[in-house]
Amino acid sequence: MISPKLLEHLRKKDLNYGDVKDKAYDEKSLIFGSHNHKKLHPQAFRIIENADQEIDKEEGLSDEEIQKILSKISYKPQETDIQIPAGTKWPSKTNLPTFIPETNIIRKVPLESIQCDIQALVEMVTSLGGTPVYSIANWVDEKNVDCRGLFYNALATDYLEEFPELVTEWSEFSKDPSNIKVLEKNIDKIDKWSICENPSAAPIIEKILPFADWGRVSANPAMIPIMKKYPDKVRYDTIWKNPYARYFFTNEELKKVKIDWFVHSRHCADVEFMRENLDKLVPSELSRNKYAIPILIDHPYLIDWGHLCSNVSAIPILKLNKHMIDYKWLRKNPAAFELFEDHLDLADWTLYSSDPLAIDFLLRHLDRVDWKQFSLNTAAVPVLIKNIDKVYMPHFACNPAAVEYIKQFPLIADCNKFYFSTNPKIFEISVPKTIKKIKGLLKARQ
């Protein structure tokens, strides 16, 4: 039953109890609650069932704390059209598939439940310096969850934090920034080399300083502050792979240090620093640098057209200079599918078939797609369902946009447990646990 204290507040809000439609959105970075509105789309309206389990009278929020939460939450879901947005490529762990809108589902809302704008809740916990808590969705049969697949699931951190014994491959697990909460509590188990590539692991690296691989630390763009604290440990043979290496040095030190320009031309992210050293830049490597496009536009004599064709940021330049394209290099470029419209035989269809951004291009040439990779494409689910005999089911099981079809045919999950476990849509925000977390964050600020 809902606590009297919370119910009183909710009734003052004149809530609309009844049926509500679920709606979901795409969030390209998979970090919900981010204030980067260039990529952010709201998460979803979801029903809070039995939220007051965490807000009872004995261990509940104060009146002031409840008011703070309620003032941030909108209780009346809105109806909006849902369109399939562009997504990202699978299956790289650091470039996971995007959340794609699912079909709206009518759910029955118990009278004692609360209708809540999840996005408002997420923004609140984020503004307090926290992150929402995720748990396995109610519709998921946990017998179909393979812990090995969870290592590749961006939203499994909270689940693995609760059950760290499920983590068996600590090498890959230690590289992922989303796993930092689990890693901090299991320092004795982390991989001492892989952790040095993790951009969120600075506090952990300080705790394992004697065992850290400083070659990897020196190349990690997030580790400049650590490097400044321990300059005697920095590896100068790898530091020039660091996009922000110049910030490790003072201006005077930069004048004296020997810079490996062959390596740094490819990795440097500081455009002004590159402008100051145009005569030292190596064209072949500079043309592969995704940060160097402004330099190449202003100084085209530095362009190596072969290497530029493999640069994912160079598509606008290549579109204006098609006569300079080297298709041997271009077919390695995951963003270049549009440039193959007149050269279909030269395209790498395996590379492009899983790319949601290429869906229009792929639909025009459906006879050429690689159906195994196409089954991963988050924008292709309607086509896949119509051609179910061609679908590669393991990849379909990990396609976030296919979750509604998987719900209807649970045998897909049962027969492809590893792949199904990598699907981020098997997790959803746990409202009671997130509210409990907000409670803790509010108390910590008092």
Domain assignment of residue 11, yes or no: yes
Average pLDDT, stretch 242-266?
Answer: 93
Query: Do 327 and 441 share a domain, yes or no?
Result: no
**CA 269-280-247 angle, 5° bins:** 35
Query: Do 129 and 23 share a domain, yes or no?
Result: yes
Q: Indicate the DSSP class of residue 23.
A: B
Q: Of 299, 332, 347, at which residue does a domain stop?
A: 347
**Rg of the chain taking only CA atoms, in angstroms:** 25
Residue 128 near residue 445, CB atoms below 8 Å: yes
Which residues make beta-bridge pairs with 136? Answer: 427
Query: Do 10 and 118 share a domain, yes or no?
Result: yes
Query: Do 438 and 342 share a domain, yes or no?
Result: no
Say whether pLDDT at 327 is over 60: yes
Domain boundaries, position 23: 4-133+432-445
Domain count, the chain: 2
Query: Do 436 and 343 share a domain, yes or no?
Result: no
Q: Of 298, 324, 347, at which residue does a domain stop?
A: 347
71 CB contacts (<8 Å, ≥6 apart)? none
Q: What is the pLDDT of residue 164?
A: 85
Q: What is the pLDDT of residue 65?
A: 60
Query: Do 437 and 343 share a domain, yes or no?
Result: no
Domain assignment of residue 40, yes or no: yes
| Percent residues over pLDDT 90 in the chain | 52
Single out the residue of 43, 188, 170 nearest to residue 179, CA to CA.
170
Q: What is the pLDDT of residue 106?
A: 28
Domain assignment of residue 297, yes or no: yes
Domain assignment of residue 329, yes or no: yes
Q: Indicate the DSSP class of residue 97.
A: P
Domain assignment of residue 241, yes or no: no
| Percent residues over pLDDT 70 in the chain | 74
Q: What is the pLDDT of residue 152?
A: 86
Helix, strand, or coil (residue 186): coil
Q: What is the pLDDT of residue 163?
A: 84
pLDDT in tens, 122-174: 888 888 888 899 999 999 998 999 888 888 888 988 888 888 888 888 888 89
Domain assignment of residue 325, yes or no: yes
Query: Do 441 and 334 share a domain, yes or no?
Result: no
**Stated pTM of the model:** 0.69
Domain assignment of residue 169, yes or no: no
Q: Of 289, 314, 347, at which residue does a domain stop?
A: 347
